[in-house]
Structure 1
Amino acid sequence: MRTQSTGRTPTTARVLDELFAGARLVDLSRTLEEGMPTYPTHAKYFQNRWLSMGDVARMNQLVLGEHTGTHVDSPCHFPVEGPHAGVGVEELPLTALTGRCATVTPDPPPAPDEMVGPGPLLDWEAHHGPLLAGDVVLMNFQWGATRWGLHEAGFAHLREWPGIARETAELLRERDVRAVGTDCVSLDSGDGGRGELPAHFVLLTAGVLIIENLAHLDLLPPLCFFLAFPLRIAHGTGSPLRAVAVLDGARA
């Protein structure tokens, strides 16, 4: 039976509206534009003006890979085993990339090709409390902030970037986090984690999602709220994201 609207805003909608009205939103996504850096073996991005005879509307055709720009890796991106094997991006729940967010900034910044150990995570926990199950953990390697660019200027982003070591991936898996992000083109280092790709195999096997090519991580406090939504791509190994951090509006 249909009920007549009373004109009253539902409680959940009202609370969320008030929370967002008093919050500051930080866009963590890269702009999709031609010449942007992509992983060397991945598809490039093209935006073609689309002209249709007799149609006055303006439109473009986009040609891109699933792992273009700021994006998420779904478990089926790698040949993993176990209960998460074969899970495509369209199967992810809407809450897969929403939750409390911990931003970890190693000091000093990692060296080129460095596989960052668990130290920065343990230091973060010593100062801010333990990571919780369901957290989104963002590794701010301070890489993309100075190396992202278009065309040849973006090549620096694609050379010898740092990643996480196997021990770090295993610690994140033990903490039962829901996703791990980086401002680099991959969560594994530029040499593929000595060719073993430990971050991808350890995390995706456990159903922990990977987010890559994030921006503006330097604007985030140690704790905030994160939300992002992938496109609903059938059998998708990943998807571009519009990733957003929700901060206290009073924060400078």
Structure 2
Amino acid sequence: MKLIDITQPLRKNMEVWPGDTPFSLRPSMQISDGSSVNVAEVTMSTHTGTHIDAPFHVNQEGETIDTLPLDYFTGEAVVIDLTGKNIITPEDVSSAVLKGVKKVLFKTAANETGHSYSAFPQVASELAVKLKEAGVHLIGVDFPSVDPLESKELRAHHELNKAGIVILEGLNLFGVKPGYYELTAFPLRLSHGDGSPVRAVLKEMKR
């Protein structure tokens, strides 16, 4: 079965959340300078590129990234194409499509460059109830955040967390067809972490 990488590449000058730590990859040892190995130093936020938000990200009492069950990050997922939508609502998901699927990924970007951090869709907080009723425990989006850039209440984050749904943000779903896949998107095991970059991969499957 074909593997599809749906991860943003971590690279110099990539866009990050306004005010967040810029990404950098700086050599600390180089064979070209006489060292026996190449080693680099990485600096970045835990919410750089394609990443998981732990509940602790928005709730001081929430679960941290290292305590979340591993089955959240692997298993059958459905990709739903909502290209061009500005807000994802309960009406955009069908119970028949979600039946038996615990992970749902929303494709909204119309081009390969994806969404800017200054203009991207949002998730209606009411969607959390519908997803919980369907047994979903992970939502993935191809934009930077399930809440608007200027939001202080972070209603979608809080409602999804309350429903027991983990948030996967910053996916690259351009060119991915709607349908069912096997998702793998494990975070780093960061003790007391509020989130973590992931390598998100889909494997085509027949249902």
TM tier relative to shorter chain: 0.7 to 0.9
Q: Aligned in 2, Cα 1:121/1:189: closer, same or farther, shift over 3 Å?
A: farther
- Contact 1:169–1:198 (CA under 8 A) maintained in structure 2: no
Query: 1:188-245, CA deviations, whole angstroms, 9 ceiling, x for partnerless residues?
Result: 23443xx532220001123311011101353133211111111000000001000111
* In 1: Cα distance, 2:23 partner to 2:73 partner: 24
Do structure 1's residue 119 and structure 2's residue 91 form an aligned pair? Answer: yes
TM-score normalised to structure 2 length: 0.88
Q: Report deviation, 1:77.
A: 0.7
**CA deviation digits over 1:60-115, x for unaligned, max 9?**
100011111100001111127xxxx43111112221211211111126x12xxx33
Provide the residue aligned with 1:4 in structure 2: none
- Highest Rg: 1 or 2? 1
Distance 1:172 1:41 in 2: 32
Q: Structure 2: which 5+ runs fail to align?
A: none
Retained in 2: the 8 A contact 1:74–1:87?
yes
Preserved contact between residue 108 and residue 142 of structure 2 (Cα < 8 Å): yes
CA contact (8 A) 2:107 2:141 kept: yes
Query: What corresponds to 1:76 in structure 2?
Result: 56
Moved more, 31-40 or 48-57: 48-57
After TM superposition, give the deviation of residue 186 of structure 1 in Å.
0.7
Contact 1:68 1:240 (C-alpha < 8 Å) held by counterparts: yes
Query: CA offset at residue 133 of structure 1?
Result: 5.7
Question: Sequence identity, in percent?
Answer: 29
Q: Match for 2:92: what amino acid?
A: P
**1:8 maps to what in 2?**
none
Going by fraction, where is strand more abundant, 1 or 2? Answer: 2
Structure 2 CA distance for partners of 1:208 and 1:26, relative to 1, 3 Å: same
Residue 72 of structure 1: SS of its match in structure 2?
Answer: strand
Q: Structure 1 residues 147 and 159, CA, compared in 2 at 3 Å: closer, same or farther?
A: farther
CA deviations over 1:97-148 (Å, ceiling 9, x no partner): 11211111126x12xxx332222213xx4xxx242466111111115x4444
1:167 maps to 126
Structure 1 unpaired stretches of 5+? 1-22, 149-155
What per-residue deviation string (whole Å, max 9, x for no partner) do you get for residues 149-180 of structure 1? xxxxxxx6111211111222222233231110
Identify the residue that residue 138 of structure 2 maps to in structure 1.
179
Paired residues in the alignment total 204
Q: For residue 92 of structure 1, what is the aligned residue in structure 2? A: 68
> What's the Cα RMSD here?
2.3
Match of 1:34 among 2, 12, 33: 12
User: Following TM superposition, by how much is the alpha carbon of 1:55 offset from its aligned partner in structure 2, in angstroms?
Assistant: 3.4
Provide the rounded CA distance (Å) in 2 between the counterparts of 1:168 and 1:140: 16
1:103 alignment counterpart: 79
Q: Which amino acid in structure 1 is aligned with residue 121 of structure 2?
A: P
